[in-house]
Amino acid sequence: MSALVVLPTYQEAENIRDVLTRVRAVVPEANILVVDDGSPDGTADLAAEVGEELGQIDVLRRAEKSGLGPAYRAGFTWGLERGHDILVEMDADLSHDPEVLPQLIGAVTDGRADLAIGSRYVPGGAVPGWPASRRLLSQWGNRYVGLMLRMPVRDATAGFRAYHRSIIEKIGLERVRADGYGFQIEMAYEVSKAGGTILEIPITFRDRIRGESKMSPNIVTEALVLVTRWGIRDRVNRIRRAR
């Protein structure tokens, strides 16, 4: 199967060469697509240079920063149009260890999963260096997601994952509208509702060393509002069907 690793970037000039080199070394047969949202620091140009050196690396240049969800939708659409069978999400800041890529891709390739998630909150997963308050907030946020959406996923906000193209085609990218954490949750939710098999693989998530985080309170708030809205909507629909 042909795998495409999609790397959304904004202001990642300090990390892009390192992450591309490491991904290429671990999964040399995979293709890589850098989806850059108009980074003013030259991230896209650096990615293109590395692509010329290593091969099988493309750069999709977008005019402006528009969010994680739109970047992944654009990258997945690009990959589907070019016939890739497995589409991988991964951060470009090296908080996701490229060494786990063969496990994620392999779980989809061998049919164990339609969606394989690199999970911080299954046995073997870890978030070293996080203060207890941050870890508990993230864990309880994910528990709230599971409760509201009735979805048995321990780390629904995780951004390190691999999908089989068939499940993406089944749910339809045009139906997934959220950004940020909301995008990750909505994708997992749609896969679950479509009857797809979701497998969580333990990972160690490490905070970035170089560059600035793109996370903001607005992204977290958006996700919580969307989850609450989806949960209430689905409960109302179940009551209506029961009548």
Each residue's pLDDT tens digit, 142-177: 999 999 999 999 999 999 999 999 999 999 998 898
Interior/surface letters 35-60, b for 16+ CB within 10 angstroms, e for the rest:
bbbebeeebbebbbbbbeebeebbbb
d(CA 169, CA 237): 24
Supply the pLDDT for residue 190: 95
Q: Which band of pLDDT confidence, cut at 50, 70 and 90, is reported for residue 178?
A: confident
Supply the pLDDT for residue 110: 97
Q: Note whether 132 and 212 are within 8 A (CB).
A: no
Q: Note whether 200 and 155 are within 8 A (CB).
A: yes
What string of DSSP letters covers 59-82? EEEESS---HHHHHHHHHHHHHHT
Give the Cβ contact number of residue 173 at 10 Å: 17
Q: Which band of pLDDT confidence, cut at 50, 70 and 90, is reported for residue 223?
A: confident
**Predicted confidence (pLDDT) per residue in 84-132, tens digit:** 999 999 999 999 999 999 999 999 999 999 999 999 999 999 999 999 9
Q: Note whether 5 and 32 are within 8 A (CB).
A: yes
Amino acid in position 66: S
As to burial, measured by CB atoms within 10 angstroms (0-12 exposed, 13-18 middle, 19+ buried), residue 21 is middle
d(CA 157, CA 139): 10
Supply the pLDDT for residue 163: 98
Give ∠ CA 1-22-11 in degrees, rounded to 5: 105
